[in-house]
Amino acid sequence: MIDKETFNSFDLVGKDLSNRGYNSSYSGNISMKSGGKIIITRRSAMLGWLQPEDLVIIDLEEEDAHSGLVASTESNVHRNIYKETDAMAIVHAHTPACTALSMVEDEITCIDAEGMLIYKKIPVVECDVPVGSYELAEKVASTLKNYPAMIVRAHGVFAKGITLEDALGVLTGVEQSADILYRIKLMGQPLKRDYSKEKGFSNW
């Protein structure tokens, strides 16, 4: 049984992602670790209009009936992140700037003040099957051992946190940094000062 407070957190995060245009109507997924279980959004759930029945409880250690038939197609990715990292909550969305830049960059180095302070750089990984695959689960979890968020090329962002709200904050933060970088590239003008190079963020 999922309590009202937990549902409200999922609902808040889902609506925020939808309102920002970070997902299409039925894309993206959200989860949190709860004891030996994972609470995750149902396959094809509308994150902007979640209902209590859109949250599914699956096993943390291995695939079960809900994992394969009812829960999000990215359930195995979420499970592997929880098993391999310190994540307590995960938010996945197809944010436009991060996804667009992932098509031409191998990593996104933050050049704005907040991004430089908090994230420094956001890694990009590439998978032959970039949605729901075991390769994806392995590469995402491995990367999130050392970073709060990462991007799957042509797919979107996976962000981890202590709470759902915390993971949402990470995801919106890295998308803001990516959006600023994207706009700078559109200007076609050199930076007056590139703090990221001065601080060697590419080496992180």
- Domain boundaries, given as residue ranges, for the chain: 4-203
pLDDT at position 67: 61
pLDDT at position 100: 97
Tokens of 137: 């689960």
pLDDT at position 193: 85
Q: Tell me how far apart the alpha carbons of residues 170 and 149 are, in angstroms, rounded to a whole number.
A: 7
pLDDT at position 95: 97
Residue ranges of the alpha helices (H) in the chain? 4-19, 65-69, 75-84, 96-102, 113-118, 134-144, 164-187, 195-198
Strands 149-152 vs 121-125: parallel, antiparallel or unpaired: parallel
Q: Comparing C-alpha atoms, which of 139, 146, 97, 100 is closest to residue 121?
A: 146
Beta bridge partners of 37: 34, 59
How are strands ordered across the β-sheet holding 156-161?
Answer: 55-59, 37-41, 29-34, 89-93, 156-161, 149-152, 121-125, 107-109
Domain 4-203 falls in which CATH fold?
Answer: L-fuculose-1-phosphate Aldolase (3.40.225)
Mean pLDDT by runs of 10 across the 204 residues of the chain is 93 97 92 94 94 94 72 90 97 97 94 91 89 85 97 96 98 97 94 79 64
Taking the model in full, what pTM does it have? 0.93
Contact 80, 109 (CB under 8 A): no
- CA of 99: how far to CAs of 13, 47, 134, 193, in Å? 20, 19, 20, 26
